[in-house]
């Protein structure tokens, strides 16, 4: 019962956090002249900072025993990506929204999952390395999207993003199961 309450509270806190991140980033992203690199750095910085904040204020042993606490920043990122795509849909109500959902939404899902995995890593430099990789990944995909629009090969990249997503989810589930097994044995 206690675990269910924690999960419910986590979800209830993550949803407004995701909305807040979106609105927090709207002003700097709208005033920077749509600088793709700066936008990628801003978004990834905010996303990683959610994990760092959680890491700083929580009991490390409990944090890494299961998913509920790490679910908070991950769900916040999922909500942020969803709100961002809804915003784009209302701003540009074209059929290209399907392209965005396939191509762009997985960027946020994949970087959020990568950061979650980074906090399970034994080496503390991993989250910093994942930040650099995430900014590069996010920026590169934004540039490709800008240059090539909805050309057919972009959909292949979208499918690659989904494949990365499924690999990261599998890896995260393996990490969680290993941590739970080790915790149960101790």
User: Could you read off the pLDDT of 167-179 as tens digits, one per residue?
Assistant: 988 888 887 777 6
Q: Round to whole Å and give the CA distance between 173 and 106.
A: 18
Q: Round to whole Å and give the CA distance between 118 and 135.
A: 15
Q: Round to whole Å and give the CA distance between 25 and 43.
A: 7
Please enumerate in sequence order all residues whose Cβ is within 8 A of that of 133, keeping only pairs 6 or more positions apart, or say none: 114
| 146 to 1, 38, 150: CA distances (angstroms) | 48, 15, 9
pLDDT of 119 reads: 80
Answer yes or no: is pLDDT of 1 > 50. no
Per-domain residue ranges of the chain: 2-185
User: Could you read off the pLDDT of 70-107 as tens digits, one per residue?
Assistant: 788 989 999 998 888 888 778 777 766 666 666 777 88
User: Could you read off the pLDDT of 8-65 as tens digits, one per residue?
Assistant: 777 888 889 999 999 888 877 777 666 788 889 999 999 999 988 888 877 666 655 5
């Amino acid at each position: 019962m206690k675990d269910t309450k924690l999960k419910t509270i986590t979800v209830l806190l993550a949803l407004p956090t995701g909305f807040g991140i979106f609105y927090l980033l709207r002003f700097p992203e709208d005033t920077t002249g749509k600088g793709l690199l700066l936008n990628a750095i801003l978004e990834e910085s905010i996303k990683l900072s959610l994990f760092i904040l959680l890491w700083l204020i929580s009991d490390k042993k409990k944090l890494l025993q299961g998913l509920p606490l790490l679910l908070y920043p991950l769900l916040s990122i999922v909500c942020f990506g969803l709100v961002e795509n809804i915003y784009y849909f209302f701003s540009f109500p074209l059929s290209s929204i399907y392209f965005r959902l396939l191509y762009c939404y997985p960027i946020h899902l994949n970087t959020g999952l990568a950061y979650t995995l980074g906090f399970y890593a034994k080496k503390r430099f991993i989250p910093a390395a994942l930040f650099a990789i995430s900014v590069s990944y996010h920026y590169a995909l934004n540039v490709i999207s800008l240059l090539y629009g909805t050309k057919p090969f972009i959909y292949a990249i979208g499918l690659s993003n989904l494949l990365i997503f499924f690999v990261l989810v599998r890896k995260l589930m393996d990490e969680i199961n290993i941590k739970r097994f080790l915790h149960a044995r101790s």
